[in-house]
Amino acid sequence: MAKAKKTILVVDDENDIRTLYKELLSKSYKIISAKDGDEGLKLIFSKKPDLVILDIKMPKMNGLEVLRKAKSFFPTMPVVLCTAFSSYKTVYASSLADAFVVKSPDLSELLETVHSLLNNH
Ligand SMILES: [Mg+2]
């Protein structure tokens, strides 16, 4: 029997990004998604994904707050911050994340990061 796919939660307020990441990753992983931080945190608790790809700038609850809350309950769940703003990399709250990827049309870094984090956990 084939091994069950690991689940990745994509939290991003942009529909195009959620669709893009789903296309990128759904061959290897089961993808679930949320359009804001509030919804994302609810899915973290209810689905306990194997990894979270998290945008920072979102309505209701920003990604750094989601990160802080998620890590306080699930410290070993890998979280990849994925934002267009590289300046967030030096923000202290970002250091809780397992990886930081700047949004780019080239998705290879994100893909590599996800693969490596899921093989190492
Ligand atoms: Mg955003």
Q: What are the pLDDT digits (tens) for 6-63?
A: 999 999 999 999 999 999 999 999 999 999 999 999 999 999 999 999 999 998 899 9
Q: How far is the CA of 84 from the centre of ligand 1 (A)?
A: 8
Does residue 81 contact residue 102 with C-beta atoms inside 8 Å? no
CATH of domain 7-120: 3.40.50.2300
Q: Is 60 left (phi over 0), alpha (psi -120 to 50) or beta?
A: left
Q: How far is the CA of 12 from the centre of ligand 1 (A)?
A: 6
Alpha-carbon span 47 to 36, nearest angstrom:
16
Q: How far is the CA of 83 from the centre of ligand 1 (A)?
A: 7
* For the chain, percent of residues with pLDDT exceeding 70: 97
- Mean of per-residue pLDDT scores for the chain: 93
- Residue 121 clears pLDDT 50, i.e. is over it: no
Rounded to two decimals, the pTM is 0.93
Q: Where are the domains of the chain?
A: 7-120
Q: What are the pLDDT digits (tens) for 58-111?
A: 988 999 999 999 999 999 999 999 999 888 888 878 899 999 999 999 999 999
Q: How far is the CA of 1 from the centre of ligand 1 (A)?
A: 39
9 Cβ contact list (under 8 Å, min separation 6): 31, 32, 33, 34, 40, 43, 44, 47, 49, 51, 52, 53
